[in-house]
Amino acid sequence: MTELARVAGLLFNRPLLLMPETAIAIASNLADRFGVDPMQPPAEASAFRGRPVTGTLDDGSKANLYRMQDGVAIIPVMGELVNRGSWIGASSGLTSYEGLAEQLRKASADPNVRGILLDVDSPGGEAAGAMETGAIVRQTAAQKPVVAYVSGLAASAGYAISAGASHIVTAPSANLGSIGVVRLHVDRSEAIARAGLKPTLITAGAYKGDHSSFTPLEPDARARIQAGVDDLYDLFVSHVAASRKLPEKAVRATEAGLFMGQRAVDAGLADRVGDFDDAMAYFDDSTPKNVILSGANMTEQTTANAAAELAAATSSAASQARAAERARTQAILNAPEATGRADLANYLAFETDMAPEAASALLAKAPAVAPAAAAASEQAAARPRLAVPVPDVNPDADAAAGAEAASGWDKIYTDLNRQAAASNRAFVIPG
C-alpha cells in the first residue's frame, strides 16, 4: 500500500473528531494527490519556556518528554491528532494519542513534577483513541493538577483532550468546542465513469459495501453510517459532561459550535480567560513549590512531617485529657454533697472515673458525718495524698459522734456496694 493510499484510508470512510473545514481542506489536497506545498509543522509549544526533560521510553530509547518550568511539565497538543504514532510531541504537524499518553504517564510518575500544563492548539483529529486519551488526562488530573491552556484552538478531539483537565484557561481570541462528529464519504462514480472505468464490487455481507466510494451512497447505507456517528457523538457528549461537570443537555446545546474566549467560559467549556502566565499561576495556588521534593528526600520529609504532626496531635490530646480529669476531680470534691462525706468523695474522685453528676447523686444518699468526726476523716484522707504532716484531732473530742459516724459508714458502704453490684458498676467501695 502506498503512503498516499494509507493516508487516504485514515481520512475517508471513518469518523473524525475534526473541524469540517479542516477535513474538507485535507480532502481537497488528497483529490489533487497532494499537489500542494509540503505541510509545515507549527512551532513547538512554549519553545522558549522551561527546560527540556529527557526520559527513557518503554523500548529503552531516550526522548525529550516535555519541558519543565517551576516544577510544571509543559506538554504541547498541537496540530491534527492521530491515534497511532511512535513519537513524542508534534511531528510534521501531527500529535499522536500514543505519544501524548506516554508523556502524561511519565509526568504523573515524575516526583519533580507538581503539575502538568497542556499547551493546546489543535483542530482535532481521529475519533479512535480520542476519548480514551481524554480519560487518561482526567485520571492524571486526579493525581496531579492538570491545566489546559488553549492558545489558539481546542476543537473536537482537541477539546475532548482538554476537557479532562482540572482547569481550562483560554486566550481571549482562542476558540473552543466543536463537540461533534463528522464523517466523509466521497462518491467517485461519475469521475470513474468519465474515465471509462466500470468497477465491480464483490462482497459478502449485506453491509460490506456501505462505505464504497465507487457507487453513490444508498439511503439505507447512509442511515447505518449515521447511527454509528450518533453513537460516537453520544460518547463524546458523555465524556465532556462528566469531565466538565455539565448536564449532557447543555453540552448538546452547543450544537458542535465554536466559542471564543469569554463565550467559552460562559458556556462552561473553560474556567477563565487569560494568558500562559495565568495558566501557570494556577499551580502556585494549588501546589506550593516548597513541598516538591524528589526520591528519598521526599520520603524522608514526608515521614518527618507526619511524625511531627502525630506528636503534636498526641500531646494536645493528652493535655486535654489531663485538663478534663482535673475538672472532674474538682467538681466531685467541691460538690455541696461532699460536705461531711470526705472519704467517699475522695474515693469517687481519685479511684473511679465516675462523672460528677453521678458522684453527687451517690454522695447525697450517704449520711453526713458530724463536724468533729468529719474533720478527722478529712484529715486522714488528706494525709496520703498531701504527703505532709497533718495535726491529729483530739480523739476525745466528740467521741460519741465519731463512733456513730463509723457505724453509719459501715452501713453506707454496704448499701452502696449492693447498689453498685445490682447496676453492674465497675467499682466496689472498700468497707
What average pLDDT score do residues 204-217 get? Answer: 90
Poorest-pLDDT segment among 124-133, 277-286, 409-418, 421-430: 421-430
The whole-angstrom separation of Cα 36 and Cα 29 is: 7
Q: 356-365 vs 399-422: helix axis angle to the nearest 10?
A: 130
Q: Where in the chain is the domain with CATH 3.90.226.10?
A: 3-291
> What is the model's pLDDT at position 139?
95
The whole-angstrom separation of Cα 97 and Cα 37 is: 26
pLDDT tens across 344-390, in order? 888 888 888 888 888 888 888 888 876 655 555 555 554 444 444 44
Q: Is residue 308 predicted with pLDDT exceeding 80?
A: no
The set of catalytic residues is 156, 208
Residue that has been written with the C-alpha cell 453513537 in this structure: 231
Q: Over the chain, what is the mean pLDDT? A: 77
Residue that has been written with the C-alpha cell 454522695 in this structure: 363
Q: What type of residue sits at position 122?
A: S
CATH number of the domain at 3-291, please? 3.90.226.10
Say if residues 167 and 271 touch (Cβ distance below 8 Å).
yes
CA gyration radius, the chain:
41
pLDDT-derived band of residue 18, with 50, 70 and 90 as boundaries? Answer: low
Of residues 80 and 297, the one with the higher pLDDT is: 80
Q: Is residue 75 predicted with pLDDT exceeding 50?
A: yes
Report the half-sphere exposure of 137 (CA within 13 A, side-chain side): 35
The whole-angstrom separation of Cα 375 and Cα 134 is: 83
pLDDT-derived band of residue 292, with 50, 70 and 90 as boundaries? Answer: very low
Of residues 22 and 97, the one with the higher pLDDT is: 97
| 12: CB partners within 8 A, 6+ apart | 27, 30, 184, 185, 186, 213
Q: Is residue 398 predicted with pLDDT exceeding 90?
A: no
First and final C-alpha spacing in the chain: 105
Say if residues 73 and 115 touch (Cβ distance below 8 Å).
yes
**Closest to 184 in 3D by CA, of 78, 4, 25, 37:** 25
C-alpha cell, 63: 526522548
What average pLDDT score do residues 275-304 get? Answer: 63
Say if residues 183 and 15 touch (Cβ distance below 8 Å).
yes
C-alpha cell, 302: 514526608
DSSP letter at 32 equals T
In 291-370, which ranges are continuous DSSP H helix? 295-333, 342-350, 356-365
Q: Is 326 helix (H, G, I), strand (E, B) or coil?
A: helix
pLDDT tens across 319-346, in order? 787 888 888 888 988 989 888 888 888 8
Of residues 55 and 149, the one with the higher pLDDT is: 149
Say if residues 69 and 49 touch (Cβ distance below 8 Å).
yes
**Closest to 87 in 3D by CA, of 106, 101, 69, 67:** 101
The whole-angstrom separation of Cα 384 and Cα 200 is: 114
Note if the pTM is more than 0.85: no
Q: Specify which of 13-27, 35-49, 339-353, 392-406 reaches the highest per-range mean pLDDT.
A: 339-353
